[in-house]
A = this chain, B = another copy of it.
Amino acid sequence: MLEQKVNRNSHQREVILEELRMVKSHPTATTLYKLVSKRLPKISLGTIYRNLDLLSKRGVIQKLEVSGSVARYDGDTDKHYHICCTNCGRIDDIYHLPEELINIDLSKIEGYDVKGYHMNFYGICSDCRENQ
């Protein structure tokens, strides 16, 4: 995972990146704002959004390509998939997937110059299965 240099090394940006990398929960901007606020009580939501945008555009972090009204972010840029619990909304990582998925022949889709695909799984997480 190569680290790209960002323009200026603001303290806020460092803390945002640290906190995002510290959690495995693919937080929303607001959730991350609450986490960061514990260390930087004066930070604003706007700064969170501006930095998440900047960092994801530079490939330092990842903005998840999932449907839904709220954007979610991931500090892990290694290739992996996500699975979302349709009951509680939590999102977990999937690192290992059946091999055949990785080698899809994208040339067969007519008209388009296909660049790639986004794939997300959904189901019921173990916590939700137990609590009912």
A106-B113 Cα distance, complex, nearest whole Å: 29
Total count of chain A residues near the partner, CB < 8 A: 37
Establish whether residues B120 and A118, one from each chain, have CB atoms under 8 Å apart when the complex forms. yes
Interface pick from A8-16, A31-39, A91-99: A91-99
Q: Is A125 an interface residue (CB 8 A)?
A: yes
The 0/1 profile, CB within 8 Å of B marked 1, for residues 83-123 of chain A is 10110000010101110110011101101111111111111
The closest CB in chain B to the CB of A125 belongs to B112
Q: Is A18 an interface residue (CB 8 A)?
A: no
For the residues of A in contact with B, the DSSP-based class is mixed
Establish whether residues A122 and B111, one from each chain, have CB atoms under 8 Å apart when the complex forms. no
Q: Is A54 an interface residue (CB 8 A)?
A: no
The closest CB in chain B to the CB of A94 belongs to B109
Query: Which parts of A60-76 form the interface with B (CB within 8 Å)?
Result: 64-68
Q: Given A64-B67, A98-B104, A109-B94, A115 and B119 touching (CB < 8 A)?
A: no
A83-B107 Cα distance, complex, nearest whole Å: 13
CB distance from A42 to the nearest CB of B (A): 28
The closest CB in chain B to the CB of A64 belongs to B67
